[in-house]
Amino acid sequence: KIGEQKKLRRILGGEDSSAPRSRVSRGIVRMMCTRAGLRGLRDGSHLLRGTLSLSALKTPSSIRTTQARSAASTASSAEVEEAFKPHPAPPGSTPDSFGQSTGLERAEIEIPDIFQHNEVLKAPFGTEAEPCLVESAFDSRIVGCTGDAAPHDHDLYWLEVKSGESSTCPLCEQVFALKQI
């Protein structure tokens, strides 16, 4: 548990809990907390105080726990940690992987398609006059371009689209612009 907390502190902006965190890190923490249904824990500040482990964020079994509560209630860190403890097998039996798994491993067992975001979104080809608008709540977003005849025009090329400037794919010259929401 201590190793996970150190890893999370490193991800969120250094060993010092007063170190500034990047927007991307806060966005990732918010996304993980939202997916896990942790209503009162979305800012991620409790993580730097060491009251919740990294495996608790990545395990979706809290969804069932917190959905039973009303929308106005918040989960305490003790309740969340209790929900993510492994369930050992009774004495004399062999434990299965579902009962013993925690963290990301348990999330992948409970929700097999948790990382399946492979759909190709088709939009009009972006030009300088009319760029392809990419929505984001942040100052930048990473997009993958596969060309005009997606997904077969060219290999996937990753671009970072920043607020206030357009990004052009060097392979097909498609132009992307960020639309903040």
Say yes or no: 73 and 17 in one domain: yes
Q: Phi and psi dihedrals of 109, rounded to 5? A: -75, -45
137 occurs within a structural domain: yes
The tens digit of pLDDT for each residue in 130-156 reads 999 988 888 999 998 888 776 677 888
Per the structure, how many domains does the chain have?
A: 2
Of 110, 140, 165, the one marking the end of a domain is 110
Domain with 17, as residue range(s), is 2-110
d(CA 88, CA 141): 42
pLDDT computed for residue 4 by the predictor: 57
Average pLDDT in the 163-180 region? 91
Summarised one tens digit per residue, pLDDT across range 69-112 is 433 344 556 666 665 666 677 888 887 777 777 777 877 777 77
User: Which of 34-38, 58-62, 74-78 is predicted least confidently?
Assistant: 58-62
| pLDDT, position 167 | 94
> How confident is the prediction for the chain on average, in pLDDT?
67
Asked whether residue 116 is assigned to any structural domain, the reply reads no
Choose among 147, 99, 103, 105: nearest CA to 123.
Answer: 147
Long-range contacts of 153-162 (CB under 8 A, 24+ apart): 161/134, 161/136
Kindly state whether residue 125 falls inside one of the protein's structural domains. no
